[in-house]
Structure 1
Amino acid sequence: MSVPQGRRSSTFTRLLRHGFTDPSAAERLLDTPDLSAVRSDPLLLDALGATADPDLALHGLVRLVEAQDGDPERRELLDTLLTAKPLRDRLLGVLGASEALADHLARHPLDWQALVTYEPSDLHPGVEEFERGLADAADPVSLRVSYRRCLLSIAARDVCGTTDIAQTAAELADLATATLRAALAIAQTDAPADAALCRLAVIAMGKCGGHELNYVSDVDVIFVGEAADGADEGKALQAATRLASHMMRICSETTIEGTIWPVDANLRPEGRNGPLVRTLSSHLAYYQRWAKTWEFQALLKARPVAGDLPLGEEYVRTLAPLVWQAAERENFVPDVQKMRKRVVENIPAGELDRELKLGPGGLRDVEFAVQLLQLVHGRADLSLRSGTTLDALAALADGGYVGRVDAVQLDDAYRFLRTLEHRIQLYRLRRTHLVPEDDADLRRTGRSMGMRTEPITELHRAWRRHTSVVRRLHEKLFYRPLLDAVAQLAPGETRLSTGAARERLVALGYADPSAALRHLEALASGVSRKAAIQRTLLPVLLGWFADSADPDAGLLNFRKVSDALGKTPWYLRLLRDEGAAAENLARVLSAGRLAPDLLMRAPEAVALLGDQRGLEPRGHAQLEQEVLAAVGRADGAEQAVAAARGVRRRELFRTSAADIIASYGTEDTPAEADQGALVDRVGGAVSDLTAATLAGTLRAVVREGWGDELPTRFAIIAMGRFGGHELGYGSDADVLFVHEPREGVDDHQAAKAAHRVVSEMQRLLALPSADPPLLIDADLRPEGKSGPLVRSLKSYEAYYRRWSLVWESQALLRAEPVAGDLDLGRAFIDLIDPLRYPAEGLGEDAVREIRRLKARMESERLPRGADPTLHTKLGRGGLSDVEWTVQLMQLQQGWAEPGLRTTRTREALAAACAAELIPAEEAAILDEAWVMASRVRGAVMLVRGRPGDTFPSDGRELAAVGRYLGYDPGHVGDMLDDYRRATRRARAIMEERFYGA
């Protein structure tokens, strides 16, 4: 309850001034007889006010005083020692920072005496001192009490600033070591027969092994066992396993005194599924044959701590060569790429911004960067082989592997984040890496770190600043020293040797490090403004290239673009200033051949990457208007078609770049999850662009040969994927040509003009060009290759009336006018609608014929040697299977269901599902297979620069297809399994729905 301003006592005012948030409650506590000495001692009030939470400290002091049970001697000793500044500051500092340790003191009121000594030998105790502190612990309960008593002294030195974060973490690791030894001794005492049978070594891993433990953390261990002299190995390992399990329970189980910390042995070979204890030879065999890169990374911190120490030292000594050869392993690069992807999937979305450990710019980023550089360069440089993060970082800076300024900033950020983590955990001694949300918790935490004016605001500001530093340096840490090695701008500075630079590039995925260094030197050397900007951009760009399947291609392509545009003022400014432009460019340049090749032909298209709206596909009308305008300005048909190709080139780059960026995602734009939407967007964009290009070519031919008007009306009808708005980057344009003589023009003259138009369009579009070809395929016309390229509308009518076959009705399902005389095009559609949507559907003979044609295609057209489970077009459950299934439903039910009268496969499948012609589950399976097959075809074209219907055989190309499809490095096997699974399910539905199997 608040006190009126005029009635506030002088004590109340002093309490407010000393940082109490509830001075009324504090005043009532100070009024109790037990605290009369405190109330009258201004130094004690000053000491309370110096704590992280004066209210918490006072409450803890009251509980401690009350716990003395009225014993005059205890109370007199406490009162006397409270006047001694070192003890007073340490005791109140702990009480103001840790509710959990205040609870311990209330239960064990004499343990405060552990804080009395303040001698030099007490400042930095080691394992031996802690072992003495735990010597009386004979069971799990007493071990917990002794452990907390030792923890009191560590926390006191920490909160009073006697030790820094590195010393505190080392003391916690030493206390953990002593505790593991005490727990193992208890286990051996409880089972002397087991202890006699075996040698058991306990290897500390993780933060305990690295001498950088938290207040509350799992203590990671690995167990090594051997038979004692004369003992049977099998029985010895069983005995060692029982001892290890008992030791773990002693530390981990909850008792009336709570718990200590969980002992976690999941870093052992095979994890949870592996035996708890292995012999040294068994460990060695596993690491030689099966271990992954992260397991060698974990071994950087391995340290024998308990049990048979000579056996533990032999374990570390035996495995060390394997640790330092890890960077030479064949799978090192994909493993590193996987590890470099931040593991945030299991963090709830609402907690990501509060995560100190796994969040962006968190502790894991620092630790991973340091450990990776150790693995790469520690092979030759023994000074880097430390298990402690800050020691290793200092050694990397001393050796020139990390810039000194970067190392200082990273050291500062890491110390801040670890201190923040410690102070958060200390409050309740609970394992957490989340920054609290409650103001009281934030205030206490900020004050514990010396922030007294505006602790909450200051804490948030400092936290964001340090995480920002880590995020900025995480990539530059790997790559900026590479630039320093080639730029040669700072004589006298320690720089990476050429050999070390090559080692680092190889470890980060660059297959040709010598060429990469040459590119870096060409881009970043010199004192020009251009080189200075490149030195700013490249450390981040190199990281994005390294995340791709082909870093070398990314860097080479970037050099080519920079050589082409480097003197253009806007180019580097765009990359430096326009947010996602640089990352977009890096993703595009390293994703395959198609997009970079297009960009090299039109480097100015880089500007499209600076604005998200620049990557949105343009509509058919807008494209056609631009193409026709470009054709109109050209001199002659060939120049006109070249102009149309220029528009097509730029728009293909726009579409492919948007596709790549949407698939990979960037920091500003996450990867799109709707694969079907990506397929639809690419298919629609490429189809619209093809239609506009054909319209421009038609205009160029007519203008060249006839001026303003052709003697016959002329229309282009899209067929196949073109008509279905499903074209891929390398698809041919399936078309039909139709004409209708103008009034007063005889049929022969009109037909001659129409044939000349088609022939000239084919010639112009077939002219040699570095652009992706646009081939016109008219084989779906009446009589196929034997029939005339172009017919009049009346000729089509006569043919379809007398000679049309069922396959032609099926092909016409995709017919749609796209260029030329649209009224004529619509007349053609009116003509064919009764054929493709026959009244009352198909007869049994027609259905049998379609099935026969499909079976024949499967047996004859699949390329020899092709894997039918991986061929996207003709393979099991691929595009053909899904499309023929959908088209059969359209032929049978299109007359009755308007929704089926569409040229688009997915739209027709959805309409069939809505009309209950196919269950939703089956429709979803067919749709998934069709989308996946379409995505694979698009990926192959993007990666290889030429079309293909199956997965590439080249490993790097296959990995690039996997990255485009959303698979992490090293998971191409999962991609192939998923594809086979999806298409196998689609094939089963096709066989039932299409063949009636």
Structure 2
Amino acid sequence: MTPGRRSSTFTRLLRHGFTDPSAAERLLDGPELTPVRNDPVLLEALGATADPDLALHGLVRLLEAQPTPTDHRELLDTLIAAKPLRDRLLGVLGASAALADHLARHPADWQALVTYEPQDLHPGLAEFERGLAEAADPVSLRVAYRRCLLSIAARDVCGTTDLAETAAELADLATATLRTALAMAQAHAPEDTAACRLAVIAMGKCGGHELNYVSDVDVIFVAEATEGTTEAKALTAATRLASHLMRICSETTVEGSIWPVDANLRPEGRNGPLVRTLSSHLVYYQRWAKTWEFQALLKARPVAGDADLGQAYVDALQPLVWQAADRENFVADVQKMRRRVVENIPASEVERELKLGPGGLRDVEFAVQLLQLVHGRTDQTLRSGTTLDALQALAAGGYVGREDAARLDEAYRFLRTMEHRIQLYRLRRTHLVPAAEEDQRRLGRSLGLRTDPVAELNREWKRHTGVVRRLHEKLFYRPLLDAVAQLAPGEARLSPEAARERLVALGYADPAAALRHLEALASGVTRKAAIQRTLLPVLLGWFADSADPDAGLLNFRKVSDALGKTPWYLRLLRDEGAAAENLARVLSAGRLAPDLLMRAPEAVALLGDGDGTGTRGGGLEPRERTPLEQEILAAVGRAENAGQGVTAARGVRRRELFRTAAADIVGSYGTETNPAEADQGALVDRVGAAVSDLTAATLAGTLRAVVRDGWGDTLSTRFAIIGMGRFGGHELGYGSDADVLFVHEPQDGVDEHEAAAAANKVVAEMRRLLQLPSSDPPLLIDADLRPEGKSGPLVRTLKAYEAYYRRWSLVWESQALLRAEQVAGDEDLGRRFTDLIDPLRYPAHGLGEDAVREIRRLKARMESERLPRGADPKLHTKLGPGGLSDVEWTVQLLQLRHGWELPGLRTTRTREALAAAREAGLLSAEEAETLDEAWVLATRVRNAVMLVRGRAGDTFPTEPRELAAVGRYLGYGAGHAGDMLDAYRRTARRARTVVEDVFYGDSP
């Protein structure tokens, strides 16, 4: 061959799309391929395939495998003369290395592609059954199956059949295969065959007549006894037949396997019997089945065995399928199932996951099935097991907009065709888009993308998944808007009854009120209404994810009414991605946060990127003590009197309480982009620190306002506020009072009586101003932990405290002082107070046994006397066994006994003291972890109760929606409140065991 000739062939091959023209040229130089090399039509046909190099290599192997020169010549002649064969055979060879392997092993099978008969161009079940009829054993069945598959693939890659037709043909081939395999099993065991009637029900994509090239074939088996046979014997016989059928299809032979037959969708899954009677199936689905099992039955279709029994199965179960949407938490269950699927995808595969990833095939299928189950109860035209047929029916019935349905149909077809081409290459079950460039090139070309196949493929793939992601939620929620608002062209209008059905399925208790809210928000032609129509479909979904969607929608309407004329409000929700979802979570999580927001709706700005103070970047991050106090003191400084100053301080407190509550809710619920905070302790610490710092800053501002108004810049006595209890421990909750002590010290030359009168007046005015009726929540100051309690002076001098503690102090007061920390006022005076009490709370050489017994006696008395009448002790978060009191008293006893020698125990914070006790060996790691877990959980429950009910409480709510909302805050899905209560009891029980050993035991 001359260099010029070689150069010309090389150039032609390169032009035709060969990526390795040198290797292709070497193959074509063989004398047996001269006709191919010299025929421009054949070269052009090779270049038209998905992978010309692969196609040429497969053709060479097929020619080499021909048994005689005559056969070799016949194949070449037919390729040159017959364009249909040329396109089909080369198309398959360029798309599927696995089918090329099959042709190399069975070289006569290429003739299956030489056909012009209509029934061969568009075969049905009967044609496939004839194609498999001659198979006498599992090995020959595999060969016949591949031969049929070869013809399906040829029609597919040549465009003779579209996606829906190809998937239907694959399902028909699977049906024919199941029938042939069952016939083989029955012929092998005639006695078993005679003993039972066995029907095979296809599920999943096979049942839906939309199968992939390589997929498990999901089935359910149902059997009945024949006359004269007991049920037990019939089920045993049917189980043997079903097992044999599964082995025939699934086992690997010299010809490989066909596909796994998967029966795990049956009642009880892999733990249940392989075969049941029809009545047994019915009992299971009527009593025990979960929502997803009814969703799976949408696609049930009898395909093999006893046709009458199979149809009886479907007829008996279909009514139950269409009642599934009436089940409690139906939509939540379906959506939870979808989220669980996504969460189980390995992180390294999410971006390449074609089926299960965001915007993937499963999103389309779940959305369509959800709509079918809701509206198919009353509209039988929706009862199709095939996704594209069901989507078309939903559009025809007005449940989905025509334009949305068309775009989703296009996306689904493209993604399913991608999936088919990926699987066809190696005939392996996969849903991952290949990462290698050469694989993406072949895939892109197989889809008709020829200019820049890799770039075009990725662009089209991302475009279609983007469409699915946007429409996935809109499909369900948007028509609710259009039921009450002005229609855009191509949008669906639900009837009032259909809209009500959909809202009830979403968990709305008052669908009529919900529709009124939607109408008020979205009706009209204003720009505001247009933005609302864009926002509401997504917001409705987020509301439905909560325990009280009605409250979420009502609260959103209230906020929107209050801010309707504010130019930035809807723009914030539309343009700042997190703001809308954060608002939906906050408005539907309970009463406290919405109540705080309604008092000053402009605080909704905190949910975006701003911090609500005119700067950017703060968002929901709780602010630290110093900037909070600076803001409050500056506001007090601008006020004309103490009343205005404290009003300003309370306003800041209200705003920051909302910020903290909103951050807590969003962190507990999670969002689409940020999962729920996994570290429950961190959530508790964040709330405790934020509310405690906010309370301290508010007291500091109130003290400044009162002193400035009554005494100018200098009070006649130095004055400090000491935080006690949870306040001193930086562990305040949303509904906590501020436990404090007040200490003062007269300025030099000031009479003690005059100083005491001034200090008492300051305290009285602070308490009055912080409790005045207002749109802002009051801050209650509780000084009952002072010496002599309510009977003692409200304010004492440092010397008076010293005298009292030296002469009269009781052990419970030493225990209470463990939490004392200066929080506002004169820092030097506060430090001297804590120096004064250190010997009391960390007594030298610890507590004597008498003192230990007294503490235990007080604890036992409190348990028996203070628990509210009628309360369930096991669910009381404060006083119940294993609750807050148990943990805190146990930790505090260790502090009293060992704080003098272990500096780590000298802290006002419970969790810090627990960690120090563990590090010092006073608690084992397991004991410390058990107590910490119980304390964190009990605190979380108390915070949840306050968020949900808007008032403090130490027990779980009894009202179902409130209990569900507490559960949602704690991470429990709809319908799992019982699991939450069981988990609390278990956690508290374990903690109580530690308390019995450490607090009440004999350990030092």
Could you tell me which residue of structure 2 aligns to residue 664 of structure 1? 669
Distance in 1, Cα, partners of 2:524 & 2:405? 25
Using the alignment, how far apart are the partners of 2:335 and 2:27 within structure 1? Answer: 58
Quote the offset at 1:618 in angstroms. Answer: 1.1
In 2: Cα distance, 1:257 partner to 1:852 partner = 80
In 2, the alpha carbon distance for the partners of 1:8 and 1:615 equals 70
8 Å CA contact 1:336–1:508 kept in 2: the answer is: no
Post-superposition Cα deviations, 1:490-515, rounded to whole Å, max 9, x if no partner, equal 59975110110010111111111111
2:851 paired residue number: 846
Q: Cα gap change, 1:898/1:494 in structure 2, threshold over 3 Å: closer, same or farther?
A: closer
Among 72, 75, 80, the residue aligned to 1:78: 75
How has the CA–CA distance of structure 1 residues 8 and 661 changed in structure 2, closer, same or farther, with 3 Å as cutoff? farther
Distance 1:665 1:763 in 2: 40
How many Å separate the matches in 2 of 1:158 and 1:613? 56
Q: Give the whole-Å Cα distance in 2 for the aligned partners of 1:26 and 1:492.
A: 52
| Match of residue 63, structure 1, among 61, 75, 100 | 61
Question: Compared with structure 1, are the counterparts of its residues 530 and 685 closer, same or farther at alpha carbon in structure 2 (3 Å cutoff)?
Answer: same
The amino acid that maps onto 2:681 is G
Asked if the contact 1:342/1:358 (under 8 Å) is kept, the reply is no
3-state SS of the aligned residue for 1:93?
Answer: helix
Q: Tell whether the 8 Å contact from 2:403 to 2:491 is kept in structure 1 after alignment.
A: no
- Say yes or no: does 1:955 pair with 2:960: yes
* Number of residue-to-residue matches in the alignment: 994
Is it true that 1:996 corresponds to 2:1001 in the alignment? yes
- How far apart are the structure 2 equivalents of 1:359 and 1:836? 58
Residue among 428, 452, 455 paired with 1:454: 452
Q: Which moved more, 1:28-37 or 1:238-247?
A: 28-37
State the partner residue of 2:123.
125
Q: Does 1:806 align with 2:811?
A: yes
Please state how far the C-alpha of 1:831 moved relative to its aligned partner: 0.6
Contact kept, 8 Å, 2:402 with 2:490, in 1: the verdict is no
The answer to which of 320-329 and 465-474 deviates more is 320-329
**Against the structure 1 CA distance between its residues 74 and 8, is the aligned structure 2 distance closer, same or farther, given a 3 Å change threshold?**
closer
2:505 match:
507
Distance 1:703 1:649 in 2: 23
CA distance in 2, matches of 1:439, 1:813: 66
Deviation for aligned residue 1:705:
2.6
Q: Which moved more, 1:860-869 or 1:510-519?
A: 860-869
| TM superposition shift of 1:118 | 2.7
Q: Distance in 1 between matches of 2:684 and 2:274?
A: 49
Indicate the residue corresponding to 1:248 in structure 2: 246
Deviation track 1:318-359 (CA, whole Å, cap 9, x = no partner) reads: 111111111112342442342353522321110011111110
Alignment CA distance shift 1:181-1:50 (3 Å): same
Tell whether the 8 Å contact from 2:650 to 2:777 is kept in structure 1 after alignment.
Answer: no
Deviations 1:705-761 (A, max 9, x none): 323222211111000000000000001111001111111222212112212222222
Q: Could you tell me how far apart the structure 2 residues matched to 1:902 and 1:150 are?
A: 77
The residue identity in structure 2 corresponding to 1:764 is L
Mapped pair 1:89 → 2:87: yes
Residue number in structure 2 paired with 1:234: 232
Question: How far apart are the structure 1 equivalents of 2:937 and 2:335?
Answer: 24
2:743 aligned counterpart, secondary structure: strand
Question: What is the 5 A alignment of 1:261-280?
Answer: 261-280=259-278
Give the match's secondary structure for 1:817: strand
1:352-501 correspondence to structure 2 within 5 Å:
352-489=350-487, 495-501=493-499
> Gaps (5+ residues) in structure 2?
610-616
Per-residue deviation, residues 3-30 of structure 1 (Å, max 9, x unmatched): 9999961111111111111111111111
**Which amino acid letter does the alignment assign opposite residue 129 of structure 1?**
E
Matches within 5 A, 1:864-879: 864-879=869-884
Q: 1:917 maps to what in 2?
A: 922
Superposed, 1:702-717 pairs within 5 Å as: 702-717=707-722
Q: Distance in 2 between matches of 1:813 and 1:279?
A: 69
Q: Is the 8 A contact 1:717 1:736 kept in 2?
A: yes
Specify which of 775, 782, 806 is matched with residue 780 of structure 2.
Answer: 775
Q: Aligned partners of 2:254, 2:227: CA distance in 1, in Å?
A: 40
- Counterpart CA distance in 2 for 1:418 and 1:627 is 60
Q: Give yes or no for contact 1:485–1:497 (8 Å, CA) kept in 2.
A: yes
2:678 maps to which residue?
A: 673
The normalised TM-score by structure 1 is: 0.98
**1: distance between equivalents of 2:309 and 2:440?**
46
Q: CA deviation at 1:634?
A: 2.6
- RMSD of aligned Cα (Å): 1.6
- Mapped partners of 1:734, 1:658: distance in 2: 25
* Whole-angstrom distance in 2 between the partners of 1:347 and 1:112: 40
User: 2:727: which partner in 1?
Assistant: 722
**Letter paired with 1:536:** T
Distance of 1:641 and 1:589 partners within structure 2: 28
> Residues 6 and 560 (structure 1 numbering): CA distance in 2 closer, same or farther, change over 3 Å?
farther
State the 1:926 CA deviation. 1.5
Give how far 1:684 is off: 0.5
Counterpart of 2:101 in structure 1 is: 103
- Offset of residue 621 of structure 1: 1.6
- The amino acid that maps onto 1:73 is T
Kindly provide the amino acid, as one letter, of the partner of residue 352 in structure 1.
V
Identity %: 83
Do residues 792 (structure 1) and 789 (structure 2) align? no
Secondary structure, aligned partner of 1:581: helix
CA distance in 1, matches of 2:809, 2:227: 92
Q: Which AA in structure 1 matches 2:550?
A: D
Supply the distance in 1 between the matched residues of 2:441 and 2:55 (Cα, whole angstroms).
14
User: Distance between the aligned counterparts of 1:7 and 1:856, measured in 2?
Assistant: 106
* Equivalence map 1:884-903=2 (5 Å): 884-903=889-908
Which of 307, 310, 313 is the matching residue for 1:312? 310
SS across alignment from 1:794? helix
Measured in 1, the distance between the counterparts of 2:12 and 2:295 equals 54
CA offsets 1:668-692 (integer angstroms, 9 cap, x no match): 3332211111111110010011011
Counterpart-to-counterpart distance in 1, 2:782 and 2:593: 25
Partner of 2:612: none
Corresponding residue for residue 291 of structure 1: 289
CA contact (8 A) 2:486 2:525 kept: no
State the 1:850 CA deviation. 1.3
Give the aligned residue type for 1:107: R
Q: Using a 3 Å threshold, how does the CA distance of structure 1 residues 5 and 344 change in structure 2: closer, same or farther?
A: farther
Whether the aligned pair in 2 keeps the contact of 1:101 and 1:152 (CA below 8 Å) is yes
Could you tell me which residue of structure 2 aligns to residue 137 of structure 1?
Answer: 135
The aligned amino acid for 2:129 is E
- Contact persistence 1:338–1:969 (CA under 8 A): no
1:559 deviates by: 0.6
Distance 1:44 1:881, change over 3 A: same
**4+ residue runs over 4 A deviation:** 3-8, 490-494
Which of 978, 982, 992 pairs up with 1:973? 978
Cα 1:884–1:961 shift into 2, 3 Å: same
SS in 2 for 1:155: helix
Mapped partners of 1:273, 1:553: distance in 2: 41
The C-alpha deviation readout for 1:956-989, integer Å capped at 9, x for no partner, is 1122112211222222232222222222222211
Instruction: Pick the aligned partner of 1:739 from 724, 735, 744.
Output: 744
The 1:556/1:101 distance shift into structure 2, 3 A limit, reads same
Q: Secondary structure at the match of 1:644?
A: helix
8 Å contact from structure 2 (residues 487, 493) kept in 1: no
CA contact (8 A) 1:872 1:936 kept: yes
Letter in 1 for 2:375: H
